[in-house]
Structure formats: structure tokens, C-alpha cells
Chain A
Amino acid sequence: MVQVEGLTKLYGDFTAVNELSFAIQPGEVVGLVGPNGAGKTTTLRCLCGIIPPTRGTVRVCGHDIGTDAIAAKKQLAFLTDEPRLFDYLTVWQHLSFVARIYQVEGYEATGAALLEELELSGKRDALPGELSRGMKQKLAIACGLLHAPRVIYFDEPLTGLDPYGIRRMKDSIVKRARDGAAIVISSHLLHLVEEICTRILILKNGRKIADGTLAEVTQKFSESSGDASLEEIFFRATAEASPPPLPPVLPP
């Protein structure tokens, strides 16, 4: 569903993403993890065609996002951690707008179902200014899912959601993967990644340092036992060196 080959993004002399290659199959949920500045967001932005890669190719459902961007973009959705909405469009007007952009015929039924699923039915005529942070996030999600994308990229999808919203979001991701969508989740919430991702991709300084199922990654970085948590694996995989020893405690 998604093929990435030699993806590289440079900002002047700085290499944000370095020779990244991987593929995602239908139904897979890939967790993209790494410390701050590892290149996760840049990678996602390249994957959905917001910024052009300096080198390498990204194919979405067989369409090169560099040369056949429109066909590729029709198949994907990118849901950011910070919901980006239009101040003067109501909840339903957002859906109408997105429906026209993606040419979603009969979007009314899908839109209503999505609003129901995301508990926004009562806010159809509300402007973003009247919505809470979590509701805005849900609206952004509804807009992203309206055209039934086959590839979905999530950047910190649980930010701003309440515990009910988090549970629904997780279920929704799993359900869409089960229905055949390829999903990438970039998150610092390692327990989320551990819980719902079928594969893990660890980035550091723009490079891929691990790619595989949790068991495979654990095996690669586990020092003694094979049952280490993703958190431990993450620290082992991304640590620069051993932390410096703590200074001795001075007597009072």
C-alpha cells in the first residue's frame, strides 16, 4: 500500500530524514517512534506530499506522490496532533467542503455516521471556536476519514482526547486497519504504540534504527531477556551513551 525508498530530506546542510526505506501492507498499523528531532513529522509530511523529499520516492497505492500526487493524495489522510480547522466553517460545512474536494458523492450519510461515531452530532452547526480541544480533534478526524482513505497517517492522534475519546480512537484505528487500511502512527505514547501497532519503526537522527514487529524489535535490542517493554527497548535503541553518574550527595 505504501512503498518508501531512499527517502531523504535535507534542510540546507541539516539532514532531517536520511535514506529511509520501508513498505506498509494493507491492514498493518505501523508505529513511528523516536526522540524529539528524530524526523518523524518530516517523514509523515513527505509521505503525504506536503513537502517534497530531497531524494527518494514515496508510492501510495501504486502512485508516486512526487509525479502523480493527485491520485496518491486521493487515497490518503493525514491527521495532525494540532487540529487545523477553518475558523468560519461550521462542523457540517467542514464536511461539505472536504466532500467537494475529494468528490465524495452521498457524503451526507457517511458524514452523519462519522459525527455520530465521534459524538459530534449535536455540534453540526457549531464553529470551531465553540468546540473544545478534543472536539476539534474529532472534527479533524471526521474530515480526514470522510473519503474512506486507504492510507492514514496519524501524528499524535490521542492529543486532547478524553479517556472515552482515547478508547474510541484506538478502536477506530484498529477497525480501519481490519478493514484493509494501511496506518502509520507517530507518537511518543509508547504504550499506545505497543497496544495497537503491528509493526514498529524507530527513527533516530533521521535514520531508521529498527523496523519490525514488537517481538522482532525486542529481540534485536534485548540484552538478556526477550520480554522487555517497548519503553526499555526505546531507551536502549535511541540512547547516545550511558547516562553520566549522579554526583555524590554532599553531607548537610
Chain B
Amino acid sequence: MLAALFHLQYLSARNRLVTRFKRLKKPKYLFGAIVGGFYFYFYFFRYLFKGFGGGQSAGNLVISPEHQLLIESCAALALFIILLLAWIIPHERAALTFTEAEVAFLFPAPVSRRTLVHFKLMRSQLRILFSALLLTLFSRRFGGHVWIHAIGWWLLLSTMNLHFLGSSFTRTMLLDRGLSNRGRRLLILALVAGAGAGIWYWAKATLPPPTAADTADWDSIQVYAQQVFGSGPALYLLYPFQLIVRPFFAPDTATFFNALPAATLIFLLHYLWVIGSDVSFEEASLAASQKLAARVAAYRAGNWQGASAQKKQKPRRPWFQLSPTGPAVTALLWKNLLGVGQVLSPRLLIVFGIILGMFVYTMGGSIHGQNIAVIVEFAIAIILGYSLLLGPQLLRMDFRRNLSSADILKTFPLPGWQIALGEILAPVTVLAGVQWLLLLVGFALIFFLPGKYVTLSAVIGIGLIPLLPLLDFLLLLIPNATVLLFPSWVQAGKDSPRGIEATGQRLIFAVGQMLVLMLALLPAFAAFSAVYFPMKWALGPVMPIPFAALAAAVILGVEAWLGVMLLGKLFDRFDVTEEPGS
């Protein structure tokens, strides 16, 4: 039976690979694969190849023997905490997540639970191997043998996977025997508290307490931590976890092979624990599979929020009341703002504003002689910069999310430009709202700034008021136009492609969008310069900034308007029968 399931896995993987190779006949995938291949090679694989060639990596980080134990202990502690959480946080019954097809074929079939668990373990190995590869590519940069890192990661991830599974089975068994989630949590927390108290008592009784000078000195802290972890109850508590992570940290082949048997033994014990558990997981698995399928469908439809909000949805309060008459664009804005969710509700923004306001009025002090207000002003400037960079990528309640509903939008008795405007307005509103709030904080901070910064901060802030929403608008127009122009290239719709070629496609588009943005900003920059430099002779370098920004904003406004018209035309011409991602 297991051989048949293995065959299923093999065929699925092979067919997926063949499909991906076949689609390289299409230029969009071929170019994507080439660019994606270069990207992965230059950022990851060339380090791996060097490592295999030379044995030892080019990393310079060499762990001294005295630090080896401390690092192992810290890693063991981290592992202990992660595994402990698996016993405390979850409240559901054990559920192995299968695809809906697997549920449909395997659950009614004469397949034992143990075989299903084996199948699940076998399938999880694909994910673990891939994760181990990626983590090795990352961790080997810090030094050590590549193969030791790879096997170390694999052992660690596989053991963790088995532990998560085994703990879910045991939790379910305890539930069936009458121990509630609450009781289990209290019991485990009591055990942890007892262990913590034991370690604390032992350290207090045995080790000289660290002085105030010790806590300020990093080396002293390390020595103290080494003493706590290296002897006494902490050593015994963390020892099994240390055994699991030890192969990964082995500095050479001999140490690795010395550490391997103990780690393998723990891995095998975990395996026996999982396989020996006989817990009913089918019903919970069925629900989990349906949830997973819904989440995948939402992801593939470009609805990231819907994907993350599969667990519970409740009606959201609209940002404003919608009357039946008035510009229809407002209806689209209203609808898309509802999609933003309650995370960014106006009420929360007001509360956020009040908290920030209170924070601002405590800004009289200084850190290391530097005025706090100046530091916060710089932080605001950096956040504003990042909001322009990341905001349009994160806020996707526009055509990128709604393209799968393009046929519904097309039945609306609205011209294309109105639909385009309505689609873009929601992310612009949210982004500009957050940015203006930050500007408001910045303006409030002006009262606490040293005199030399006051005028500069004020004029830059005033200049940004009209510029930011228009920049947002432009930044959102470009990806939306891209979606409508190249629906099959952009990962907006269902069945979006994955893999190296998809990464390459994304890179091509990122570069293309950057070029278009630079072109779009050139006229605004020219307008800014045309106003700024003549005025600079008369008013100095600071005062012309708001006037120049206003001139740039006018140009950006014209570009935004033309962009909406163009986007509307693109939407009118958009053929809904063209499958995105095909």
C-alpha cells in the first residue's frame, strides 16, 4: 500500500516537473526561468557550489570551543521553547492535513491509519528537504561544512516535524481521556515553572550572583550563562535538545559522527512514538483539508487577506454610509474599504493618533544627548519612504485582487475609467491616510525640535501633503495597469505559476515597473526643479520647497488622471476569457 502512495507522490512530482519544463516553450516562462535561474544562482547556489568544491565554506565565523557549549545550549533552549509551545498553544484535535483529492481517495479506501501517517510523513519529507536546502544555503555563509549543515538541518527539522505530530496525537489522546486543554496547559506551565524555579534556586545557591558591573559586561554575561547551562538542572533539562542540535554545530567530520548516533536515536524514538499512537484524526483532517483548500483557492485568486482570514469572518463596519445616489465610484471605494478589514478601521486610526499624540508630548527628553524629537522625525521620514516602497505591494484591494471578478465589474453600467478609479481609490485612501497621520505626528513634533530643524521640517512636511497621495496613486497605477496589460504574466489570478520561472517573471516586472515609475517621475521632477531653482535665488534653499512640491503635485495629478483614463481603456478592452496565469 505504501508503495502505491509513494508511486502517487513520485508521479505527482514528475508530472509537475514535466509540466513546468513543457511550459518553457512559451517565451514568458523561458525568460522568467532564465532570469529566475540567474537570481537563484547568484544569491544562493554559487555559495553552495563553492562549498562542495572546497569542502569548507568561505564564511569567517569560527566558533571557539569555549563558546561551542553555550551556542549549543542556546539552540537547545530555543528548540525546547518551540517544542514546548506545541504542547501549550494548540487546542484542536490532531489533524493531518491532506489535499481534498487525497481525502476523497484515501479516506474511504482500505488504508490503515498507520499507512496514512506514513504517507503524511513521506510527503512532509519533500518540504523538509527543500527547507533544509534553503536553510543550508543561508547558514553555510557563516562557516562550517555544507554537508554537515544540510544533514544537521534535516535531522533537526525532521525531529521537530515528528514531535509536532506526536504531540498533537498525545494531546488528542489526553482530550479523549478527559484532560481538557486548559488542564493540560496548566499542568505543563506548572512543570515549566517548577523547572524554572529549580534552575533559579540552584543558580542562586551554587553560583556567585552577578554584580551590576557583570550585567553591563557582555563577556561576564556569557560566562554566567555558560555556568547556568553547563551544569546543574538546566544541563539535564536541555540535554536531549542539545543532542538534537549538536550534529548541526559540529565543527568537523569526527565531531559530527560522534554526535550523530544520539541525534538519530532521538529521531527514531520520535518516529516510534508517532507510529505507535493510535488516535482518530480523520474528522479533524477533513475539516483541515477543506480549510486548506479554501485558503489555497483564496491565495490563487490573489486574495491574500481572504486567505489569512479563513478562520473566522464577521461582518465589518463600513468606513462610511453609502447612499443609493451619487457618484458610483464611491460604491467601489466603499466596497474595497470594507475589504481592508477592521484592522485599519477609522476608529483604530483615531486611537492610534491619540496614542501617538500622547507619545509626542513626552518628547522633551534626549537619548545620548540627541533630542528624541529629532530621532522620531528621522524615523517618520524613513517610514514614509518605506510606505511608498512597500505600501502599494501590501495594499492590494484593487484590480490585483478583484481581477477574478472582472466579469462582474464589466456588467456594471459604468465607464471603464470610473471602475479603474474606484478600484485604485481604496489603497490610495488607506495609504495616504496612514502617511498623513505620520505627517501630523511630524508636525506636532516640530514644537520639540531644536531651532535649526524647525523650518526645514515644516516646509518638507507641507510639501509632502499633496505629493504623497499622488505618488501613491501613481505607484498603484503601474501594477494595476500591468495586471490588465499582462494578465497571464502577473500572479493575480487563479492557478498562478510557481517556481524559478515565476520568480524570474516577478523580477522582470519589478524592474519594468521601476523603469516606468522613473519615467513617470521625470516630468514632476522637472516641474519641481523649474520652480525650486528660480525661487531659491530669492527665498533661499528651504522656503521654495512647498511651492516646488505643489508644482510637482500638479504634474503628478495630471499624470494620475491620464493614467486613470488609460487604465479605464485597458479595462474596457480587457478580455475576461483570458485566464490569468495560463
Binding site for B on A (CB under 8 A): 11, 42, 45, 48-52, 69-74, 76, 78, 84, 86-90, 93, 96-97, 99-107, 125-127, 129
Q: CB within 8 Å of A: which of B386-432?
A: 405, 407-408, 410-415
* Residue B203 CB within 8 A of the other chain: no
Tell me the complex Cα distance, A124–B410, Å: 26
Q: CB within 8 Å of A: which of B536-582?
A: 573, 575-577
- With A97-B331, A103-B324, A105-B324 in contact, do A88 and B339 touch (Cβ < 8 Å)? yes
Contact A106 B335 (CB under 8 A): no
Question: Which residues in B have their C-beta under 8 angstroms from that of A73?
Answer: 411-413
CB distance from B298 to the nearest CB of A (A): 8
- With A11-B577, A51-B576 in contact, do A127 and B414 touch (Cβ < 8 Å)? no
Q: Which 10 A-B pairs have the closest CB atoms?
A: A100-B331, A73-B413, A99-B324, A74-B413, A50-B410, A70-B413, A90-B315, A50-B407, A88-B339, A107-B324
Question: Which residues in B have their C-beta under 8 angstroms from that of A107?
Answer: 324
* Residue B314 CB within 8 A of the other chain: yes
- With A105-B325, A107-B324 in contact, do A89 and B411 touch (Cβ < 8 Å)? no
Contact B325 A103 (CB under 8 A): yes
Q: Which of A86, A101, A102 has the most chain B CB atoms closer than 10 A to its own CB?
A: A101
24 A-B pairs within 8 Å (CB atoms) are namely A42-B577, A45-B576, A48-B411, A49-B411, A50-B407, A51-B576, A51-B577, A70-B414, A86-B335, A87-B303, A88-B341, A89-B335, A89-B338, A96-B324, A99-B324, A100-B322, A100-B323, A100-B334, A101-B328, A101-B331, A105-B324, A105-B325, A126-B315, A129-B313
Contact A127 B315 (CB under 8 A): yes
Tell me the complex Cα distance, A50–B406, Å: 8
Tell me the complex Cα distance, A170–B457, Å: 68
- With A73-B412, A74-B413 in contact, do A127 and B314 touch (Cβ < 8 Å)? yes
Question: Which residues in A have their C-beta under 8 angstroms from that of B123?
Answer: none
Number of contacting residues on B, CB 8 A?
33
Q: Which of B326, B411, B412, B573 has the most chain A CB atoms closer than 10 A to its own CB?
A: B411
Question: Which residues in B have their C-beta under 8 angstroms from that of A105?
Answer: 324-325
Question: Which residues in A have their C-beta under 8 angstroms from that of B413?
Answer: 69-74, 101-102
CB distance from B425 to the nearest CB of A (A): 14
Q: Nearest residue in A to B415 (C-beta to C-beta)?
A: A70
CB distance from B409 to the nearest CB of A (A): 9
Tell me the complex Cα distance, A42–B407, Å: 12
Contact B325 A100 (CB under 8 A): yes
Tell me the complex Cα distance, A42–B414, Å: 21
Q: Please report whether the interface of chain B is mostly helix, strand, loop or mixed according to DSSP.
A: loop
Tell me the complex Cα distance, A213–B434, Å: 62
CB distance from B397 to the nearest CB of A (A): 9
Tell me the complex Cα distance, A97–B576, Å: 22
Tell me the complex Cα distance, A246–B410, Å: 48
CB distance from A202 to the nearest CB of B (A): 23
Q: Nearest residue in A to B412 (C-beta to C-beta)?
A: A101
- With A50-B407, A101-B413 in contact, do A88 and B338 touch (Cβ < 8 Å)? yes
* Residue B50 CB within 8 A of the other chain: no
Q: Nearest residue in B to A41 (C-beta to C-beta)?
A: B577
CB distance from A150 to the nearest CB of B (A): 13
Tell me the complex Cα distance, A52–B574, Å: 9
CB distance from B227 to the nearest CB of A (A): 56
Binding site for A on B (CB under 8 A): 303, 306, 313-316, 318, 322-326, 328, 330-331, 334-335, 338-339, 341, 405, 407-408, 410-415, 573, 575-577
Question: Which residues in A have their C-beta under 8 angstroms from that of B412?
Answer: 73, 101
CB distance from A121 to the nearest CB of B (A): 16
Tell me the complex Cα distance, A71–B341, Å: 34
Tell me the complex Cα distance, A96–B330, Å: 12
Contact B313 A106 (CB under 8 A): no
Q: A50-B407, A103-B328 are in contact. List 17 more A-B contacts (CB 8 A).
A: A49-B410, A51-B410, A52-B573, A70-B414, A71-B413, A73-B412, A78-B411, A84-B405, A87-B313, A87-B339, A93-B315, A97-B322, A100-B322, A100-B334, A101-B328, A101-B331, A101-B414
Tell me the complex Cα distance, A69–B316, Å: 33
Of the candidates B324, B331, B408, the one whose C-beta lies within 8 Å of that of A106 is: B324
Question: Which residues in A have their C-beta under 8 angstroms from that of B573?
Answer: 52
Question: Which residues in B have their C-beta under 8 angstroms from that of A51?
Answer: 410, 575-577
Tell me the complex Cα distance, A86–B426, Å: 15
Question: Which residues in B have their C-beta under 8 angstroms from that of A127?
Answer: 313-315
Question: Which residues in B have their C-beta under 8 angstroms from that of A86?
Answer: 335, 338-339, 405
Question: Which residues in A have their C-beta under 8 angstroms from that of B326?
Answer: 100
Contact A87 B306 (CB under 8 A): yes
Contact B338 A50 (CB under 8 A): no
CB distance from A44 to the nearest CB of B (A): 11
Q: Nearest residue in A to B303 (C-beta to C-beta)?
A: A87
CB distance from B422 to the nearest CB of A (A): 10
Of the candidates B318, B323, B335, B407, the one whose C-beta lies within 8 Å of that of A45 is: B407
CB distance from A131 to the nearest CB of B (A): 12
Q: Nearest residue in B to A124 (C-beta to C-beta)?
A: B315
Tell me the complex Cα distance, A104–B318, Å: 19
CB distance from B414 to the nearest CB of A (A): 7
Question: Which residues in B have their C-beta under 8 angstroms from that of A70?
Answer: 413-415
Q: Nearest residue in B to A92 (C-beta to C-beta)?
A: B315
Question: Which residues in B have their C-beta under 8 angstroms from that of A93?
Answer: 315, 318, 338
Tell me the complex Cα distance, A132–B405, Å: 20
Contact A100 B328 (CB under 8 A): yes
CB distance from A91 to the nearest CB of B (A): 9
Tell me the complex Cα distance, A84–B407, Å: 10
Q: Nearest residue in A to B397 (C-beta to C-beta)?
A: A88
CB distance from A68 to the nearest CB of B (A): 10
Q: Which of B306, B324, B575 has the most chain A CB atoms closer than 10 A to its own CB?
A: B324
Question: Which residues in B have their C-beta under 8 angstroms from that of A87?
Answer: 303, 306, 313, 339
Q: Nearest residue in B to A78 (C-beta to C-beta)?
A: B411
Tell me the complex Cα distance, A230–B535, Å: 83
Tell me the complex Cα distance, A73–B409, Å: 11
Question: Which residues in A have their C-beta under 8 angstroms from that of B575?
Answer: 51-52
